[in-house]
Structure 1
């Protein structure tokens, strides 16, 4: 995850005001160093990387809309929107990704 950008509205969960981080929509490791970015809150940024590999992010989920439409994130976003903007929930790596390592 990159450094904190500022406070504002998360482009994924739309909570505000939250501390934002810069997320490369195509991960830098997959050639996205100079590609588009999105300002995401810390929980959304962590959840994305806990659910999907960099390869999956680059090939399947390279826009906010594509991320927002995934079943796993829909459930998470519905829950997160009910949390206060100051909440920093504990995150767990998906079992699917744990098995790959």
Structure 2
């Protein structure tokens, strides 16, 4: 089963069975727009950046990819299947 949401906002891979919705500008900072993500991509964003940091970035994937940890993650996950899952570690 595939979704009709197309591709992941962060990594650009086709979406799989599970889709999570992310606010590029956090709701707590007035964001209303949501974008579709793989669960692993969503968890990776929040493992690296808090809401304050997200609010200071431009609300587009290219801005997130300028963060070294997120860029490294996107390069690592780009060849994985849409429903790939792995544990996500929080930044220390």
Given the superposition, is the C-alpha separation of residues 59 and 17 from structure 1 closer, same or farther in structure 2, using an over 3 Å criterion?
Answer: closer
Tell me the TM-score normalized by structure 2: 0.83
Moved over 4 A (4+): none
Query: CA-atom RMSD, angstroms?
Result: 1.7
Aligned to 1:11: 9
Q: Relative contact order: is structure 1 or structure 2 higher (C-alpha 8 Å, sep ≥ 6)?
A: 2
For residues 73-88 of structure 1, the aligned pairs below 5 Å read 73-88=70-85
1:48, distance to aligned residue in structure 2 (A): 0.4
Does 1:52 find its partner at 2:23?
no
May I ask how many residue pairs the two structures share in their alignment? 88
Query: Which has the larger strand fraction?
Result: 1
Distance 2:58 2:91 in 1: 16
Structure 1 residue 31 displacement after superposition: 2.0
Contact 2:15/2:38, CA 8 A, preserved across alignment: no
Unaligned runs of 5+ in 1: 1-5, 96-101
**TM-score (normalised: structure 1):** 0.76
